[in-house]
Amino acid sequence: MRVPCRDCPLRSLSAFTKLPVKKIDFIQSIKSNHLHHDAGSWIIHAGQAAELFTLFSGWAFRFKTLPDGRRQILNFILPGDLLGLQASMFSDSLYDVVALTAVELCVFPRSKIWLLFERMPELAFDMTWLGAREESQVDDNLTTVGARNAVERVAALIIGLYRRANLLGMVSDQTLLFPLSQQHIADALGLSLVHTNKTINRLRRMGVFDLSHGLLKLHDFHVLEHLAQAFDVEISPRPLI
């Protein structure tokens, strides 16, 4: 809580739209907490109620688990992303969210969401926009898992995360701190761990990227885009609640 929302370092990034002070102060007024979580800890539990969060720093991921234990990672969450919108609109969350690194979270109690719709329609609109954007990410992931082969899947995942991280200024010298294990990648792509490993190494040997020791270095973005059968993407600044 020490840093007021007005001075939030995320706001100065070009990835985010500028908000009038009045709205920022409203956001601050409904923010109830600023949490720290260790890597690996649960942020939202499937089957339980959850608040609404903004990820302030770190990485997290959202996933579902089948009765027999298989798990599917639905998307990854980066700083500035809204987290728990579905969960806070339904009575219970339908998915788990776990911190991938140490994270900081801004907490907005679900009880205040209605206030936001009532008093600050612009912010409610932004929230809906952010929800639509998350869905569009899940759409992409479904397309990756359903229609692409192993090489294309890995390529598409790398591209997607690289792009997002780049917008947040987390990339320098085409290099990025990359906290996913190969098991995370496998669970996101619907591939086995072993095959994921072999596919990554194939791409590594092809020279399109290097991925080791938690560091991703992208050598050739365009080749990777081509390998991924990627769509064109339009990137626009997004609201930050």
Partner DNA sequence: CGAAACGTTGATATCCTTCAACATGAGTGG
Partner DNA sequence: CCACTCATGTTGAAGGATATCAACGTTTCG
Neighbours of 114 (CB within 10 A): 10
CB 53 within 8 A of CB 84: yes
State which amino acid sits at residue 105. L
Instruction: Please give the size of the binding site for DNA, defined by CB under 7 A.
Output: 21
Shortest distance in whole angstroms from residue 105 CB to DNA: 22
Shortest distance in whole angstroms from residue 2 CB to a copy of itself: 31
Return the SS3 of 33: strand
- What is the largest distance, in Å, between two alpha-carbon atoms of the chain? 55
Shortest distance in whole angstroms from residue 118 CB to a copy of itself: 5
d(CA 133, CA 138): 9
Instruction: Please give the size of the binding site for a copy of itself, defined by CB under 8 A.
Output: 49
User: Does 145 sit near a copy of itself (CB under 8 A)?
Assistant: yes
CB 73 within 8 A of CB 61: yes
d(CA 35, CA 33): 6
Nearer to a copy of itself, 174 or 229 (CB): 229
One residue of 99, 191, 218, 230 binding DNA per CB under 7 A: 191
User: Does 143 sit near DNA (CB under 7 A)?
Assistant: no
Separation in Å, CA 119 to CA 9, 17, 18, 30, 44 = 25, 20, 19, 12, 27
Piece in contact with DNA (CB under 7 A), picked from 119-127, 144-152, 166-174, 216-224 = 144-152
Binding residues (CB under 8 A) for a copy of itself: these are 64, 66-68, 70-72, 74, 85-86, 89-92, 94-95, 114, 117-118, 121-122, 124-125, 127-129, 131-132, 134-136, 138-143, 145-148, 188-190, 229-231, 234, 236
Binding residues (CB under 7 A) for DNA: these are 149-151, 181-183, 190-201, 212-214
